[in-house]
Chain A
Amino acid sequence: MFITQISVYLENNRGTLRKLTGVLASAGIDMLGLSVADTSNFGIARIVVREKDFSAAIAALIDAGYMAMKNQVLCAAVPNRPAGLDSVLAVIDAQHLFIEYMYSFNYSLDGNALMILRLNSDEMDNKAIIRNLTENGVRLLTQEEVNAL
Chain B
Amino acid sequence: MKKNDSRIYDPAVECMDRDELHRIQLERLKETVKLVYDKVPMYRERMDAKGVKPEDIQTLEDLSKLPFTNKSDLRDQFPFGLLAADKSEIVRIQGSSGTTGKPIVSGYTENDVEVWTEMVARALAAAGGGKDDIVQVTYGYGLFTGGLGAHQGATRIGAMTVPMSSGNTQRQLMMMHDLGATMLCCTPSYAIFLGESLKELGYDLSEFQLKSGCFGAEPWTEEMRDKLEELFDINAYNIYGLTEIAGPGVSYECPAKDGMHICEDHVIAEIIDPETGEPLPYGTRGELVFTTITKTGMPMIRYRTHDICVLTEEPCSCGRTHVRMGRITGRTDDMLIIRGVNVFPSQIESALLRVSGVAPHYMLIVDRVNSTDTLEVQVELTDEMFSDKVADLERVRDEIKEQIKSVVGISATVKLVPPKSIQRSEGKAKRTIDKRGLTE
Contact = CB atoms under 8 A, between A and B. Distances in A.
Q: Which of A41, A66, A67, A118 has the most CB of B within 10 A?
A: A67
Given A39-B394, A42-B416, A44-B393, A65 B388 contact: no
A9 B416 contact: yes
Range of interface residues on A (Cβ < 8 Å): 10 to 19
A118 B388 contact: yes
B200 to A, nearest CB: 29
Interface residues of B, number: 18
Contacts of A41: 397, 415
Given A5-B388, A11-B415, A65-B420, 18 more contacts: A7-B387, A7-B388, A9-B418, A11-B417, A37-B390, A39-B394, A41-B397, A42-B393, A42-B416, A44-B393, A67-B386, A69-B386, A69-B388, A73-B388, A100-B389, A100-B391, A101-B390, A118-B389
Nearest to B394: A39
B390 A9 contact: no
B419 interface: yes
Nearest to A120: B389
Interface of A: 5, 7, 9, 11, 37, 39, 41-42, 44, 46, 65-67, 69, 71, 73, 100-101, 118
Q: Which of A39, A42, A66, A118 has the most CB of B within 10 A?
A: A42
B85 interface: no
B381 interface: yes
A41 B381 CA distance: 14
Q: Which of B389, B390, B418 has the most CB of A within 10 A?
A: B418
Interface string B417-439: 11111000000000000000000
Contact of A46 (B381, B388, B397, B421): B388
Q: Which of A9, A39, A71, A100 has the most CB of B within 10 A?
A: A9
21 contacts: A7-B386, A7-B387, A7-B388, A9-B381, A9-B386, A9-B418, A11-B417, A41-B415, A42-B393, A42-B416, A44-B388, A46-B388, A65-B418, A66-B418, A67-B381, A67-B386, A67-B418, A69-B386, A100-B389, A101-B389, A101-B390
Q: Which of B386, B391, B416 has the most CB of A within 10 A?
A: B386
Contact of A11 (B390, B394, B418, B420): B418
B390 A39 contact: yes
Contacts of B421: 65
A39 B381 CA distance: 17
B383 interface: yes
